[in-house]
Amino acid sequence: MTWIIPNPTQLDDPLLRTFGDLSKYLETPTGKRMKVYASTTARDADNLTPSAGDEAFTSDTTTYWLYDGTAWRAWDLAWQTYTPTLSNLTLGNGTVSGKYMRQGIMCDTKFGFVLGSTSAVGTSPAFSFPMTMADPFGELARNSLDAIVHIVDSGTAIFSGLVRATTTTVTVLYWNAAATALQQAGITATVPHTWAVNDSINVVRLRTQMA
């Protein structure tokens, strides 16, 4: 998103000393005025009956919004942080991270789980999406998701992985090269290796459609 200041001489205006005041002068590249709000709550209070094509920006999450006639659709201009709900993963003194970025109806998700001395990996480790996803083309059921997954046996090996998902939960698997043909296989406490400190599960990218 490129921001245009219609009159550069207004840069000396003291109103431009805060980001919020900058909204009085910002326009989209098409020349349409863009209002900046502190949050979606403030946006909705100001625009009670949005129309298709309405645009807004919320400064708390650095998000650009477009109303499509039914709902506000988000384009995040920065990665957002969330706390994934873990299944068959014991965090202990390890670390977990979750990030997402929305682009209209699509969402990119990142996930990281690094084991500490009291962490554990169980059978079929999984984590939650940042929001509910859709499955308009049956990709979730076919396990044909657009994802990049790295499973790290610290100091020893890096395995390629994949995911399967419901609309709310992501299960991490790995590619088993031991068979005649490459096959997807489930992760356990000892597969693809026995988990130890600093080993990790990393979903570098997962792209899905939001509900």
Q: pLDDT value at position 138?
A: 85
**Does 1 map to a domain?**
no
pLDDT at 84 exceeding the cut of 90: yes
Whether 3 maps to a domain, the answer reads no
Residue 206 pLDDT exceeds 70: yes
In a domain, 65, yes or no: yes
Report pLDDT digits (tens) over 125-173.
999 999 999 998 888 877 778 899 999 999 999 999 999 999 999 999 9
Q: Tell whether 62 and 103 lie within a shared domain.
A: no
Same-domain status, 41 and 85:
no
> What's the total number of domains in the chain?
2
Residue-level pLDDT at 32:
63
Q: What percent of the chain has pLDDT over 90?
A: 67
Is residue 164 assigned to a domain? Answer: yes
Contacts of 85 (CB under 8 A, 6+ apart): 127, 128
Residues 135, 49, single domain; the answer is no
Inside any domain, residue 201: yes
Q: Residue 18: give its domain's CATH number.
A: 3.40.1620
Structure tokens at 106: 């699509």
Same domain for 114 and 69: no
* 2 found inside a domain: no
Q: What is the pLDDT of residue 182?
A: 84
Last residue of a domain, one of 18, 51, 76: 76
My answer on whether 70 and 117 are in the same domain is no
Q: How confident is residue 27, by pLDDT bands cut at 50, 70 and 90?
A: low
* Predicted model pTM: 0.80
Which one has a higher pLDDT value, 25 or 47?
47
Structural domain range at position 52: 8-76
